[in-house]
A and B are shown apart, each in its own frame.
Chain A
């Protein structure tokens, strides 16, 4: 059981989650973060911290694609343990629908 990062993270990437995670299970892409499903201990601390409300428990319905995406990219993206500032236009993208199709980048982030 795990938590899952979903659409509203894309191009917001607030990264508040990273600071509170007790097991450092976040991995960084260019415009979103994902949670490694095998490392997550299901503690749920990240969920209320996300200003974009992008983090959900895997018990929420309809998350199969997001579960797969988190698992796939957590395996290749670098681990991220320190928060950096979000992109300057994060607020403009907060709440925009369908960011996956339009904006998602499979490229790794910096990590660190």
Chain B
């Protein structure tokens, strides 16, 4: 797995979206996530076993978004509701790692397109998870 990730990052940056590029994106990005001091433990708790199914799901997700493959059907917001330790700043950390990954794998325009989509979706998730105009943040504070 490490060898594949090294190969992915040494390859010339891709300028167009392909399933191979998405596979590399998912592999490289989630390797960073698992190593990250903030996000690593959160993801490890949420995905305690084999990461194979999760990585396949994420490939399906990005393929559906970037290649209109229609492979992913699900409720990603609900998945995030179940995360223990969820807070808004984690989305910023996620996006920073995603931006870094896209910059390594894709040319500037393609990287920007992926990051733009991820940023929009992150905003949507943050609104769904945290926006409670009549409540304080974090929950339980007076």
Cross-interface CB contact of A41 among B68, B70, B73, B125, cutoff 8 Å: B125
Interface size on A, as a range, is 10 to 19
Interface assignment of A19: CB less than 8 Å from any CB of chain B = yes
Do A45 and B64 have beta carbons less than 8 Å apart?
Answer: yes
Interface assignment of A31: CB less than 8 Å from any CB of chain B = no
> What separation, in Å, do the CA atoms of A40 and B73 have in the docked complex?
13
Q: Which of B32-65 contact A (CB under 8 A)?
A: 61, 64-65
**Contacts across chains A and B counted by CB atoms under 8 Å:** 45
Interface assignment of B12: CB less than 8 Å from any CB of chain A = no
With A41-B121, A42-B121, A45-B64 as known contacts, state yes or no: A20 contacts B70, CB within 8 Å.
yes
Interface assignment of B138: CB less than 8 Å from any CB of chain A = no
Do B65 and A43 have beta carbons less than 8 Å apart?
Answer: yes
Do B64 and A22 have beta carbons less than 8 Å apart?
Answer: yes
Cross-interface CB contact of B124 among A24, A40, A49, cutoff 8 Å: A40
Do B120 and A22 have beta carbons less than 8 Å apart?
Answer: no
Chain B positions within 8 Å of A39 at CB level: 77
Cross-interface CB contact of B120 among A24, A38, A43, A49, cutoff 8 Å: A43
Chain A positions within 8 Å of B120 at CB level: 1, 42-44
Chain A positions within 8 Å of B65 at CB level: 22, 43, 45
Cross-interface CB contact of A23 among B70, B75, B123, cutoff 8 Å: B75
Interface residues, chain B, with chain A CB atoms under 8 Å away: 61, 64-65, 68, 70, 72-77, 117, 120-121, 123-125, 127-128
